[in-house]
Structure formats: C-alpha cells, structure tokens
Amino acid sequence: ETAVFQTPNYHVTQVGNEVSFNCKQTLGHDTMYWYKQDSKKLLKIMFSYNNKQLIVNETVPRRFSPQSSDKAHLNLRIKSVEPEDSAVYLCASSSRDRNTLYFGAGTRLSVL
Amino acid sequence: GQQVQQSPASLVLQEGENAELQCNFSSTATRLQWFYQHPGGRLVSLFYNPSGTKHTGRLTSTTVTNERRSSLHISSSQTTDSGTYFCAMASGGNYKPTFGKGTSLVVHP
C-alpha cells in the first residue's frame, strides 16, 4: 500500500533551470530522507530530517536544498541543474522506534 | 563511515534454482533492511532484520550481528524474482542508512 507519495514522476528540463520535487508521507513517521539513485543504481543519501530538523546533510552541491514544512512533508529544490543531476530521486520515511524505511516511487530527472 | 558490501554483484539462475545473496558491513548494524527493486520500480522492503532469522514465503533473511553480515536466501526461484536486491544498514542512532551496490538477479524460464 502506497504511503510515501512523490511528485512529479518524471521531469525533463534544461541545464541551468530550477526544479522542485515534493514528498509526502502518511505513515505518521518523524524522519524523512532524500536519496539519489544514479544510472548504475547506486543509492546515496543526500539529506535526512527528524521532526522538521535537518540532521544529515551529506556532501552534495550547494544547489541542492531540502525544505520541510512539517514532519509529513520533505521537498527538494535544485537551483541551476547540471547534466550530472540526471538521476532518480527517492524519498523515504521511518519512525524512530520501528526504524524500517519506506520509499516513494521516485522522481526521474533528465537534464538536457 | 559505515560501508556495505554486497555479493555477488550479479547472478543468473534457471527457474527453480536457489539463490544466496550476501551483505557485509563495516560496523555493527542496529538497523538492517533488505529491499527488492524491479527495473524501473520502487524499492520494496523485504525484511527488517538487524539480528536473527526471518522467513516470508520463499525468502529467508539471516543476520549475524557480531559477524557484521546478513544473507538473503531465495528458494525455488521464479522469473518474477528478477530484479535488484539491496541491503541497507545503519549503526547506533544515526539517521544515515547506507546501501550496498545491490545484487542484480536474472531468473530464466
């Protein structure tokens, strides 16, 4: 049953444009994550938020910025996209006591 | 930082054969999860198993915490098992679940 929702599913854009991706979870979890999955299927964590607070900020370019309005929402903005940003961006959530990660379907970004 | 090694990188089976996927990690895992990803699909959780053995259907996950390893056994493989299997772990109370590079499984009819 889908409980982590991501929009859009796909996005095609030009180099230098700004894009925003949305993520919402209906599981009542207190922690949310953004992962990047590249063309080789490697999954790397970018950010994690706990109770709207940024707690993990991996080494990602400064053009990436997460935004959390409440525990259920975590968005990702990319200013001035680059070709290497083409990837699938996966949102996930977990609760502190149960720890299991639940993923959304992902947003596939293509930068032309 | 924590590292996760998965083996084999790829595996090709005939339908009906068994598969054993391995996951080794560099630090003690307090969180350990196995996922399945169909090509182009979302990550689906198979097991949350930081220690011990769990079964569901044809799948068995065994984690030996003090040896820093986990395995996923698929019995009587089917073509629908084809896809990529990932393990992910985290240590202590950190919020950085780290993924292995995955095992790509192809099951031929």
Q: Closest chain A residue to B87 measured between Cα atoms?
A: A43
Domain count, chain B: 1
List residues of A whose CB lies inside 8 A of any B CB. 31, 33, 35, 40-45, 48, 50, 55-56, 58, 90, 92, 98-106
**φ and ψ at residue B80, rounded to 5 degrees:** -75, -5
**Mean pLDDT along residues B14-40:** 92
Work out the pLDDT band at B42, boundaries 50, 70, 90: confident
Chain pair A-B, CB pairs under 8 angstroms: 52
- E strand or H helix at B22: strand B19-25
Domain spans of chain A? 4-111
Does domain A4-111 fall into CATH 2.60.40.10? yes
The minimal CB distance from B33 to the residues A42, A101, A105 is found for A101
- Enumerate the residues of chain B whose CB falls inside 8 A of the CB of residue A55: 95
Query: How far does the CA of residue A19 sit from the closest CA of chain B (Å)?
Result: 21
- B67 in contact with chain A, both atoms CB, cutoff 8 A: no
**Region label for B96, one of left (φ > 0), alpha (ψ between -120 and 50) or beta (otherwise):** beta
Question: Closest Cα partner for A30 from A7, A59, A52, A1?
Answer: A52
- B1 in contact with chain A, both atoms CB, cutoff 8 A: no
- What pLDDT, on a 0 to 100 scale, did the predictor assign at position A86? 97
What residue numbers bound the domain in which B62 lies?
Answer: 4-108
| More confident of the two residues B102 and B42 | B102
Question: Closest Cα partner for B20 from B105, B80, B108?
Answer: B105
Burial, A75: exposed, middle or buried (Cβ in 10 Å; 0-12, 13-18, 19+)? middle
Question: Closest Cα partner for A93 from A40, A28, A46, A37?
Answer: A28
The minimal CB distance from B86 to the residues A43, A48, A58 is found for A43
Span B65-106, pLDDT tens digits: 999 999 999 999 999 999 999 999 988 777 789 999 999 999
Q: What is the dihedral of CA A66, B27, A95, A69, to 10 degrees?
A: -10
CB-based contact A100 B48, cutoff 8 Å: yes
- What pLDDT, on a 0 to 100 scale, did the predictor assign at position A24? 97
Q: Closest chain B residue to A93 measured between Cα atoms?
A: B95
Are B30 and B91 in contact, with CB atoms under 8 Å apart? Answer: yes
Span A9-48, pLDDT tens digits: 999 999 999 999 999 999 999 999 999 999 999 999 999 9
